[in-house]
Amino acid sequence: MLTVAKKNFNSRLIVGTGKYKSMTECAKAIKLSGAELVTVAVRRVNISDKKKPLLMDYVDPKKITYLPNTAGCFNSEEALRTLRLAREIGGWKLVKLEVLGDKRNLFPDMIETLKSTEVLTKEGFKVMVYCNDDPLMAKRLENVGACAIMPLAAPIGSGLGIQNATNIKIIRSQTKLPLIIDAGLGQASDAVIAMELGCDGVLANTAIAKAKKPFEMALAFKNGVIAGRQSFLAGRIEKSIYGSASSPITGII
Amino acid sequence: MKKIKKIKIKINGKFLMINENLSLSFFLKQLKIPLQKVAIELNQEIIDKNKIKNIKLKKNDKIEVVHFIGGG
């Protein structure tokens, strides 16, 4: 169970709803992933084409919690405007803040992110914050009221997997807030690794939506998150440079 | 017959000529916008959806109507 801002979710996997071929595919992938929390974007309504399908008609916000995200915002002002609008759509207070700083690598602008976190928290939002894997910045976000720390594994959509496991471990050791790996995962084993590092959850979008078989990958991520969590709780053995036989020496013929 | 005066407004980046004295709520209903699934900004200010009946559109008003779509 994942608990964020006193809200419980049965799955530790959060999935994004972008990049799918259709709304139907997106809805089925969410179901197979077991995720109860999904990120959504805020965009203009298409005034001229009203027949365009609406996400809410496919993914019921009463059953699946929508996590409005500020993807595509490049400064604090845009991010604040987006999330204030998201709240107005229907009372969403749990949000994901993402303020980007570079169009090519999509790394977060942490100065703008920190500023926005502070303002939003004061306005009563529960802010889950996309950030780089810098322990000092993670601490600062916590100090201004973030409700979850979401460091990237690698650039958004890159599929590179966790690039700096050591930093993730340091962030884990210093915070009791939910720690969720966001962005850059490529396959289910990346989710296993994230969970084995002691993270509370994982967010995946591109890795599932753009897999050759999104439904199979949704299932793989679901199982990966469960396996990684169990492995973390079970506690790994010490590493050794020498071998240690599994069978007893006594009684050898 | 008295001719109805038209005014120019902007909605989601597009210019439209509409009848003068329309309320924001009437205008959005005409466009068949599902009000319970959107948020509305008028001249960069978020509007309480319960109050849109009382808002009359004026010349050069800028309206933004947003909703949730798939995203990461």
Q: How close, in Å, is residue B34 to chain A by CA atoms?
A: 10
- Is the pLDDT at A49 greater than 90? The verdict is no
User: Helix (H) and strand (E) counts for chain B?
Assistant: 1, 5
With bands split at pLDDT 50, 70 and 90, how would you rate the model's confidence at A36? very high
B38/A71 CB distance under 8 A: no
The pLDDT score that the predictor gives to residue B36 is 86
Residues 9-48 of chain B whose Cβ lies under 8 A from any Cβ of chain A: 11-14, 31-34, 36-41, 46, 48
Q: A155: buried, middle or exposed (CB in 10 Å: 19+, 13-18, 0-12)?
A: middle
Please give the helix or strand (H or E) that residue A40 lies within, else none.
strand A37-44
Tokens of B4: 């109805």
- Is the pLDDT at A252 greater than 80? The verdict is yes
Nearest CA in chain A to B32: A50
Q: How many CB atoms lie within 10 A of CB A21?
A: 10
The answer to whether residues A103 and A116 touch, using CB atoms and an 8 Å cutoff, is no
With bands split at pLDDT 50, 70 and 90, how would you rate the model's confidence at A164? very high
Range(s) of the domain holding residue B40: 6-66
The pLDDT score that the predictor gives to residue B32 is 86
The pLDDT score that the predictor gives to residue B1 is 59
Tens of pLDDT, residue by residue over A169-224, are 999 999 999 999 999 999 999 999 999 999 999 999 999 999 999 999 999 999 99
| Domains: count for chain B | 1
| DSSP state for residue A11 in the 8-state scheme | -
- Choose the closest CB to A18 out of B33, B34, B71: B71
- Choose the closest CB to B72 out of A18, A42, A44: A18
Residues of A in contact with B11 (CB under 8 A): 47
With bands split at pLDDT 50, 70 and 90, how would you rate the model's confidence at B2? low
The pLDDT score that the predictor gives to residue B33 is 87
Catalytic, A96? Answer yes
Tokens of A96: 């994901």
The answer to whether residues A93 and A54 touch, using CB atoms and an 8 Å cutoff, is no
With bands split at pLDDT 50, 70 and 90, how would you rate the model's confidence at B3? confident
With bands split at pLDDT 50, 70 and 90, how would you rate the model's confidence at B6? confident
**Higher pLDDT pick, B48 / A151:** A151
Question: Within a domain: residue B72?
Answer: no
A88/B40 CB distance under 8 A: yes
Q: pTM of the predicted model, to two decimals?
A: 0.90
The answer to whether residues A149 and A180 touch, using CB atoms and an 8 Å cutoff, is yes
ipTM here: 0.89
Residue type, A109: D
| DSSP state for residue A54 in the 8-state scheme | P
Q: How close, in Å, is residue B18 to chain A by CA atoms?
A: 15
Question: Within a domain: residue B71?
Answer: no
Catalytic residue, chosen from A19, A28, A63, A96, is: A96
A55/B41 CB distance under 8 A: no
Tens of pLDDT, residue by residue over A56-103, are 889 999 899 999 999 889 999 999 999 999 999 977 799 999 999 999
Tens of pLDDT, residue by residue over A108-149, are 999 999 999 999 999 999 999 999 999 999 999 999 999 999
The answer to whether residues B28 and B52 touch, using CB atoms and an 8 Å cutoff, is yes
Could you say which architecture CATH assigns to the domain A2-234?
Answer: Alpha-Beta Barrel (3.20)
B69/A41 CB distance under 8 A: yes
* B69 Cβ under 8 Å from any chain A Cβ: yes
Domain boundaries, chain A: 2-234
CATH of the domain at B43: 3.10.20.30
Question: Within a domain: residue B33?
Answer: yes
